[in-house]
Amino acid sequence: MKKLYFVIALLLVASMVLAACGGAPSEADCTKADVFCVGMVTDVGKIDDKSFNQSTWEGVKQAESDLGAIVQYIETTDSKDYAKNISTFADAGYDVIVTVGFALGEATAAAAVQYPDVDFIGVDQFQAWQYDEDTTNDIANLAGLVFPEDQAGFLVGALAAQMTKSKKIGGVFGTDVVPPVWRFGEGYRAGAMYINPDIEIFIVYHSDVGFDKTFTDPEWGAATANSMIDKDADVIFGGGGKTGNGAVTAAAQRGVYAIGVDTDQYYTLPEAAPRLLSSALKLLTPGTFDLIKLAKEGSFPSGNFLGKGGYAPYHDLDAEVPAEVKAKMEEINAALLDGSLQTNVPPVKP
Amino acid sequence: MAKSAEQTTSQSHDLRQILRASMDALLVPLLAVLTAMILGGLVIAFAGGNPIYAYLGLFQGAFGSTKALSETAVWATPYIFAGLAVALAFKGGLFNIGAEGQLAFGAVVSALIGYALPDLLGISLPAIIHIPLAVGGGMLAGALWAAIPGALKAYTGGHEVINTIMMNYIALNMTSFLLNAPMKDPNPLNVVARTPSIAESARIPPLFEGFRVHWGFALALLVAFLVWWLLWKTTLGFEIRTVGANPDAAKYAGINVKRTIVLTMALSGLLAGLAGTIEVTALNYRHELGFSVGYGFDAIAIALLGKTHPLGVVIAAILFGAMRNGATRMQFLTQIPVDIISVIQALILLLVAAEAIIRYLYRLRAREERVVLTRGWGG
Amino acid sequence: MDWRRFGVIALVIAILFGVVVLIGKNQTPPMVIITSMLATTIAVATPLTLGALSGIYCERAGVVNIGIEGMMLAAAFFGWLASIYMNSIFGFAPMPSLIVGVIAAVLSGALFALLHAALSITFKVDQIIGGTVINILAIGITGFLNRQLFFEEGSIFGGNVPHAPGILPSIRVPLLADVPTFGRMFDQQPITIAAIALVFITHYVLFYTRWGLRTRAVGEHPRAADTVGINVARMRYANVIIGGCMAGLGGAYFTLQSVPSFEPLMTNGRGFISLAAMIFGNWTPIGAWAASLVFGTAQAMQINLQFFRELILPEWAFLKNSYIVGLAPYILTMLILTGIIGKTTPPAADGVPYEK
């Protein structure tokens, strides 16, 4: 027994030493008026997903460097913690809280009502109350950051249809249950059909697994893209977190054209860069930053805030894209922006 | 007089024996948790964090305020049920790795009863009828789901470990299907794979106004007591334990081994189903895809840490719930990734499972008895 | 050889292929569908095959291993990590970095297997619990390190995107790979080729060598083996560690052959499926490979059915639902376990610690 106490004492001493080594946690006082704090709550997913959560977090980080904000994030491990995680920030006196993903929509709206002094940014959270007659359900301190995914998908679809030689193109996506993903996919289809109604399009959604896996299965994405290439597809669009990334890298490896999603993946997927034709853009980082900036300036908009979409430069493949294709792409982009061209993709899957 | 004195001494002797035995039973898990926390602290320090502040944050987040306590109880509730499910199966010599699937299936069924039954009957049900129906339905669903591998084990010899793993995948695929199509919330604004909200009359109320901790937590404690009572005070419990300890002896003693195996699995599934049901009826008020993140594996760790005893399970579940709950505050304060909790939990499981390591580390005397938990694929 | 079992397996594979061909034949030539499905099947069956081989080595020696999932996940992470270190920190060319990565993956599989062996052989911990420990530990360690090394500021890679050296290039079998259409099948990546070779090597080792005889003796009747002078514990340790190497190579498939990135939980239950494949194949390497191909076919079918979604006739609408199609392999495994389709006979002393 004596030995036991000795061991325990030793361990205690060891932990004291460890304590001395580390630094003190820096908890700035966000309750003070002059301290601007921004907190971010992720969906059930990780901050380092090289996609969705990470792009948004980069927007928050930009607020740290450009606006001198104190920034912090909390990762959600279980959907029952949404409300708790949001209130962790709100109770600590944070000024702006960013929640990422449509699944947090309800919890965010509820928190916005509960904490009227905090500005809430809901990424990908469509605010329906803005469009009804009823003004009693309006929430002044809540903005939904939404994107024209269908237009971005339409653009790269049109690009793919113009660049394919086999007249077969493919798209590998996360689950179609998530509207932004479905809109990318259907926009892609519409854009390709717009150029060539007879084109053969393989579109596969990874809806056969649970929700937690659908965006994080690069191996499946690669296998699916390879299967499309075996059927002669020569342009592959990968959309949907790491699953899509797997498709993009596999396509690049096989030497066909690859198209990325969300950010310009020329920079986030260096392995695929040499064969990356373009990316369907959904500019999360600037969208998030713009909203935080507006909140800091006191002109926070409520309701839906439309972020920017588009298509990324051709980078290494610039020389391979004919001038008339480039001109056509600019023409389509302009027509989509001024509304003279419609994608006809509904906001959610019917 | 002399006789009575003798009795007292023997009684106090018994008491001391029990005390020593329970001390001994508690010592290893306690040292395992302590050692795992220290090893976890080393990992944090190695990664450049400060373990003391991390643990302070963890403690604060778990027990630092009434709200924190309430959230810890919220987290502990499904852990208690699922841990009891695995522990009960262990007592019967069965390894239920399928708590995850049983939980999901129970949750789906009780959500269905919760939102669809009043419309189906065309009347609004009083809570006193609706709640028991929703909870009972979920329990039954979990029991049925687990009874299938139980029956396969009893009558064909198919090992329950593989079968419950397969049933997990089947349950998760089926819930994905149900929540995406037939049972999906038809509200046009809803885009998530989830059921509609259950009726008010099917909702279990919170214990205290303003806090999320609900009557499900109280129920969990009651059920833990019931499981103890079942296992040690009833014939069925005796049969379960006998079959678990030695199926051949049980057979000679006239116990219907096959029936007992099916019943044990069904009871285990019932408890797991209850975990899912309570999450639906008392907390989320609907079932949503991806709401259960690894309860099945956590439940195994909890059952083992609790030495498969109901009281032990409750304590272990509260500990695990506290860690999961406190992790938010830990990350908020120190930015230590929440994954560290998984590392610590795995270390706890490792040290509890391999008691010999703990006994060697702390120079404890070895106990002779060995608990047989499971056997090979053959049966 | 159990012909009935192989008959069932061949029939299931044929049916799954037939359904896809029937649906898609008006859009894509049947030969193209079949070869592309075969190529997908062989590729996705790779980790399952290796996982099943891992299980076979362990269980033939009498140690149940449900930790294959964790061993694969850890190997996927550490193999990938080693390749990145070699490539971006030590400046090696991509190819040597990838080879070092594969070696590191195999070694980390072996290391986790060593832990499993120590738990189940030396400490006589319940083997299923030992496996569970491996699984949970692997999830925690890889998740934590992935974050700490790559994302957090001040970490080794400073929050930058890790630049992986790419993936293992495919090897074309000379002549055969040039055959039109079918040639695609002979254009495979190295780990896939190694997996198929290992199936036959394992078959030979288990059934035609002294080592194999001793391994089986230790798994079937350890006391008898002990009496004739075989060191039961040593035999078990060695086989579990070899099994860990197999799982490690299976893990390398994910991050060094399939995609050049790591994702927490990326093995997605493949380890458990390979366990099912092992039982499906009645603890024989060739049987387990055939079973892995069934699971691979099911996955290939899911992918291909989605290509031809619009062509599915209304009365077969359930095929459009990938959740329902996805159930097939799991239900099949359970059916196999019931003994309806051929009896499974595990090694007699599987899962039983040996006490002298």
What is the mean predicted confidence (pLDDT) over B312-334?
A: 91
Cβ contact A316:A276 at 8 Å: yes
Q: The domain that contains A49 carries what CATH number? A: 3.40.50.2300
Task: Verify whether the Cβ–Cβ distance B363 to A4 is below 8 Å.
Answer: yes
- Number of folded domains that form chain A: 2
Torsion over CA: A22, B29, B220, C127 (sign): positive
A206 and A332 share a domain?
A: yes
> Cα(first)–Cα(last) distance of chain A, in Å?
70
Cβ contact B141:B273 at 8 Å: yes
Q: Is C19 on the interface with A (CB under 8 A)?
A: no
What pLDDT is attached to residue C351?
A: 79
Task: Verify whether the Cβ–Cβ distance C151 to A48 is below 8 Å.
Answer: yes
What pLDDT is attached to residue C324?
A: 75
Q: Which domains does chain C have, with CATH numbers?
A: 3-338 (1.10.3470)
Q: How far is CA C123 from the centre of its chain?
A: 27
Task: Verify whether the Cβ–Cβ distance A7 to B42 is below 8 Å.
Answer: no
Distance from CA of A226 to the nearest CA of C (A): 8
Banded pLDDT at B353 (limits 50, 70, 90): confident
pLDDT > 90? residue C266:
no
| Sheet architecture: strand order including A235-239 | A200-205, A168-173, A235-239, A257-262, A276-282, A309-311
Cβ contact B275:B269 at 8 Å: no
What is the mean predicted confidence (pLDDT) over B328-354?
A: 85
What pLDDT is attached to residue A126?
A: 82
Q: Three-state DSSP class for B337? A: coil
Chains B, C: CB pairs < 8 Å: 146
DSSP state of A200: E
Scanning every residue of chain A, which has its alpha carbon at the shortest distance from the alpha carbon of C32?
A: A231
Chains A, B: CB pairs < 8 Å: 108
Task: Verify whether the Cβ–Cβ distance C258 to A202 is below 8 Å.
Answer: no
Task: Verify whether the Cβ–Cβ distance A271 to C166 is below 8 Å.
Answer: yes
Supply the mean pLDDT for chain B: 86
Chain A residues within an 8 Å CB radius of C265: 213, 216
Choose the closest CB to A18 out of B41, B332, B334. Answer: B41
Banded pLDDT at C267 (limits 50, 70, 90): confident
Task: Verify whether the Cβ–Cβ distance A231 to C36 is below 8 Å.
Answer: yes
Cβ contact A206:A240 at 8 Å: yes
Chain C residues within an 8 Å CB radius of B166: 276, 330-331, 333-334
Domain assignment present for A138: yes
A116 and A180 share a domain?
A: no
Last residue of a domain, one of A118, A146, A174: A146
A92 and A196 share a domain?
A: no
Choose the closest CB to C303 out of A209, A224, A249. Answer: A224
What is the mean predicted confidence (pLDDT) over C242-266?
A: 92
HSE of B12 in the Cβ direction (CA atoms, 13 Å)? 5
Q: Is C15 on the interface with B (CB under 8 A)?
A: no
* ipTM at complex level: 0.82
Q: Is B50 on the interface with C (CB under 8 A)?
A: no
Distance CA B351, CA B358 (A): 6
Determine the Cα angle at B216 with ends B212 and B219, to 5°.
Answer: 145
A126 and A174 share a domain?
A: no
What pLDDT is attached to residue B4?
A: 53
A104 and A237 share a domain?
A: no
What pLDDT is attached to residue A75?
A: 86
Domain that holds residue A42: 37-146
Distance CA C149, CA C170 (A): 30
Q: Is C151 on the interface with A (CB under 8 A)?
A: yes
What pLDDT is attached to residue C161?
A: 58
What pLDDT is attached to residue A23?
A: 43
What single string gives the DSSP state of each residue in C123-136? S---HHHHHHHHHH
Q: How far is CA A224 from the centre of its chain?
A: 22
A78 and A99 share a domain?
A: yes
Domain assignment present for A305: no
pLDDT > 70? residue B340:
yes
Task: Verify whether the Cβ–Cβ distance C150 to A48 is below 8 Å.
Answer: yes
What is the mean predicted confidence (pLDDT) over C166-178?
A: 81
Last residue of a domain, one of A87, A117, A146: A146
pLDDT > 90? residue B175:
no
Scanning every residue of chain C, which has its alpha carbon at the shortest distance from the alpha carbon of A205?
A: C306
Choose the closest CB to C148 out of B47, B346, B377. Answer: B47
Task: Verify whether the Cβ–Cβ distance A21 to B50 is below 8 Å.
Answer: yes
Scanning every residue of chain B, which has its alpha carbon at the shortest distance from the alpha carbon of A47?
A: B337
Distance CA C297, CA C319 (A): 15
> Which residue's structure tokens are 């329990």?
B139
Which has the minimum average pLDDT: A65-69, B16-20, C155-159, C343-347? Answer: C155-159
Low-confidence ranges of chain A (pLDDT < 50): 18-25
Banded pLDDT at B204 (limits 50, 70, 90): very high
> Cα(first)–Cα(last) distance of chain B, in Å?
55
Domain assignment present for A158: yes
Chain B residues within an 8 Å CB radius of C326: 173
A100 and A245 share a domain?
A: no
Chain A residues within an 8 Å CB radius of C147: 46, 48
Torsion over CA: C326, C331, C334, C336 (sign): negative
Domain assignment present for A306: no
Joined together, the tokens standing for residue A167 give 């007249």
Domain assignment present for A47: yes
Domain assignment present for A2: no
What pLDDT is attached to residue A21?
A: 46
pLDDT > 50? residue B379:
no
A218 and A96 share a domain?
A: no
> Which residue's structure tokens are 């691979």?
C296
Scanning every residue of chain A, which has its alpha carbon at the shortest distance from the alpha carbon of B31?
A: A8
Helices (H), ranges, B94-181: 99-121, 127-156, 160-180
What pLDDT is attached to residue A79?
A: 79
Domain assignment present for A302: no
Provide the 10 A C-beta neighbour count for residue B340.
28
- Spans of all domains in chain B: 57-361
Of the candidates C170, C181, C37, C174, the one whose C-alpha atom is nearest the C-alpha of residue A254 is: C170
Helix (H), strand (E), coil (C) string for A289-327: HHHHHHHHCCCCCCEEEECCEEECCCHHHHHHCCHHHHH
Which has the minimum average pLDDT: A64-73, B104-113, B218-227, B282-291? Answer: B282-291
Percent of chain B with pLDDT over 70: 90
Of the candidates A83, A134, A88, A85, the one whose C-alpha atom is nearest the C-alpha of residue A113 is: A83
Which has the minimum average pLDDT: A231-235, B230-234, C50-54, C309-313? Answer: C309-313
Domain assignment present for A271: yes
Sequence-separated (6 or more) residues with CB below 8 Å from residue C188: C39, C42, C43, C170, C171
Cβ contact B160:B96 at 8 Å: yes
Determine the Cα angle at A339 with ends A333 and A344, to 5°.
Answer: 90
pLDDT > 90? residue C261:
no
Banded pLDDT at B191 (limits 50, 70, 90): low
Banded pLDDT at B378 (limits 50, 70, 90): very low
Which has the minimum average pLDDT: A61-65, B12-16, B153-157, B235-239? Answer: B12-16
Q: Which CATH class is domain B57-361?
A: mainly alpha
Torsion over CA: B109, B111, B116, B118 (sign): positive
Task: Verify whether the Cβ–Cβ distance B343 to C140 is below 8 Å.
Answer: yes
Chain A residues within an 8 Å CB radius of B107: none
What pLDDT is attached to residue B356?
A: 75
Q: Three-state DSSP class for A162? A: helix
**Which of A40, A64, A230 would you mutate first to test chain C, the one with the most C CBs within 10 A?**
A230
Q: What is the largest CA-CA distance in chain B?
A: 83
A193 and A319 share a domain?
A: yes
pLDDT > 60? residue B3:
no
Choose the closest CB to B50 out of A7, A22, A348. Answer: A22
A166 and A267 share a domain?
A: yes
Chain B residues within an 8 Å CB radius of C128: 95, 161, 373-374
A92 and A155 share a domain?
A: no
Joined together, the tokens standing for residue A85 give 């995680």
